[in-house]
Amino acid sequence: MPMRFDFETSFGVQRRRFVPLLTLRSGHLEGYAEGVMDHLPLYREETVPGALALLEGQWLPRLLGRHFATPEALALALAPYRGNRMARAMIEMAFWDLWAKHLGVPLWQVLGGVRTSVPVGISLGIQASAQATTDLATRAVEDGYQRVKLKIKPGWDEQPVAAVREAHPQIQLTVDANSAYSLTDISALQALDPYRLKYLEQPLAFDDLVDHAALQAQLRTPICLDESVTSLQDARKALSIGAGRVINLKVGRVGGHLEARRIHDLTLAHGAALWCGGMMETGIGRAHNIHLSTLEHFTLPGDTASASRYWQHDVIREPLEVNDGWMAVPDGPGIGVTLDPDTLQKVTRSCRTLHAGAAPHIDGLPDQPPSDEVY
């Protein structure tokens, strides 16, 4: 999926996403989900080649042809296996879509949602100058986005934050470091305290909680944890030791909707703030995020910006667009969106079909990312 702009973070520059898309079939019904892993283990350890090998070679052959009455029943079948939460989420989320369609109800209703539209923020990549950052932030405010998030890295933090805050004194402003800092950078992070940030997202290592707790004790700005929280137990430990006061909950990162709901309930009990993050998903993953965001405690604006911001042509028919800072939940059973076969055909690199009791059919499995993908 070629992106409409270069998106720069502390990891590097991303120009396209290589998306594994899973369709589960039962009778005439189909359930959809996508994977949020990358080709290279930059965000977390999982990769597209590794996930596809696990799904095709092990998990899907063990599940196809079996009867599962509920998502909880499916989760029990996957419970013995450790980690690989992004791959696990693909199966679990596609089954949720399939199950809700079987029941004939929207996904948000079976998840326990309480609203039919959700507040939306926007994430802005690293720009060439503070003025360019401010110009983008101004455009986002004019478009009605309820929160502006700036990507930062060492050497590029206070300057863009100061410029945007000066231009927009009242907006809800946040920053995301994508694990680019260490405890030796405390002074640079403390310099952000005067700018009234809603939170500072994932400043330290992707697998760390202890150092985040030490940092939080020396900052006025709340720390928001993203990469460090992959499960309910991670979230419990983080909140117990004061590693952060906000959690960015990405359903694809934590293994699916069941674990996401457990983390939602935990943050509600702890009184910690919560919002739904995104991984620049296509309309399939974006629709799942929107439905999840209808739960009671998703009180901060999420990352479900308009799909047209990222893609010239999405893989779904229905437009998922923000209106004055709010995203309507898609109508219809399940996630409420349908695949666009014409677009899908144009962007599909390979297709695999697995049947119950049969070996997988593999057509042109690519083992390298697109040649112009840069990190």
Residues known to be catalytic: 151, 250
Residue 253 in tokens: 């990162």
Three-state SS string over the chain comes to CEEEEEEEECCEEEEECCCCEEEEEECCEEEEEECCCECCCCCCCCEHHHHHHHHHHHHHHHHCCCCCCCHHHHHHHHCCCCCCHHHHHHHHHHHHHHHHHHHCCEHHHHHCCCCCEEEECEEECCCCCHHHHHHHHHHHHHCCCCCEEEECECCECHHHHHHHHHHCCCCCEEEECCCCCCHHHHHHHHCCHHHCCCCEECCCCCCCCHHHHHHHCCCCCCEEECCCCCCHHHHHHHHHHCCCCEEEECCCCCCCHHHHHHHHHHHHHHCCEEEECCCCCCHHHHHHHHHHCCCCCCCCCECCCCHHHCCCCCCECCCCCEECCEEECCCCCECCCCECHHHHHHHCCCEEECCCCCCCEEECCCCCCCCCCCC
CB–CB of 290/329 below 8 Å?
Answer: yes
CB–CB of 13/1 below 8 Å?
Answer: no
Pairing of strands 351-353, 223-225: unpaired
For residue 164, give every residue at least 6 positions away whose Cβ sits within 8 Å of its Cβ, in sequence order, or none: 130, 133, 134, 137, 148, 150, 171, 173
CB–CB of 124/149 below 8 Å?
Answer: yes
Residue 191 in tokens: 């310099």
CB–CB of 177/200 below 8 Å?
Answer: yes
